[in-house]
Amino acid sequence: MIDEDDSVVPAPPGNWAEQLLHFWFVDHGFADWFKGGEAFDEAVTARFAEWREALRELPAGQFLADPHTALAAVILFDQVPRNAYRATAEAFATDHLALAIARMAVAGAFDAGLSRDERLFLYLPFEHSENMDDQRESVRLISQLGDSNLLQFAQSHLAMIERFGRFPHRNAALGRADRPGEAEAVAAGNSW
């Protein structure tokens, strides 16, 4: 693959999915995933940003060989950019690919054999979507995890889409002007 400055982006190793999942679920956990800070962002960027670049043009179906490959791809295209490109438009640039993989994985019951934490990450692209139907699916899926805190986050994401049709906390990164009430909603804590 070629990146923005026309240099070759190296292909990830053959066991990229296994390496990513080990890093994500064995080497790290909840505190890193959602409150990790600069050190975690740097670790994610160093390990996986180039892999995302190398694989981002592949069709979603390419990542459905098995549930763990699908999960690794969802993390690669949904979570990695949120850490590597925080507060920029690039943080959301592969959301469509993560969501397409997640949709197909859920439709194929790939989530059935995954752990609760693995299922959460498979479902997060629905929660990150600015589409109402995806938000409803997020709440449905996350409610199955049996964690009221996770469900509350899914419901708060749905509430923002119901209210504004988009996530106001992304406005600055995406070059969107705030609409009435959006800045206040972000200031009230809706800035996941």
Q: 106 phi and psi, to 5 degrees?
A: -65, -45
**Residue 6: pLDDT band by 50, 70, 90 thresholds?**
low
**Quick count: other Cβ atoms within 10 Å of Cβ 25?**
16
- pLDDT tens digits for 68-92? 999 999 999 999 999 999 999 999 9
Are the C-beta atoms of 160 and 185 separated by less than 8 Å? yes
What kind and span of H or E run contains 187?
helix 182-187
Q: How high is the pLDDT of residue 96?
A: 98
Q: Would you call 57 exposed, middle or buried from its count of C-beta atoms within 10 A (0-12, 13-18, 19+)?
A: exposed
Domains of the chain plus CATH, in order, are 1-114 (no CATH), 129-192 (1.25.40.10)
What is the identity of the amino acid at 176? R
**Residue 161: pLDDT band by 50, 70, 90 thresholds?**
very high
Return the SS3 of 85.
coil
Share of the chain above pLDDT 70, in %: 97
- pLDDT tens digits for 93-121? 999 999 999 999 999 999 999 999 999 99
**Residue 191: pLDDT band by 50, 70, 90 thresholds?**
confident
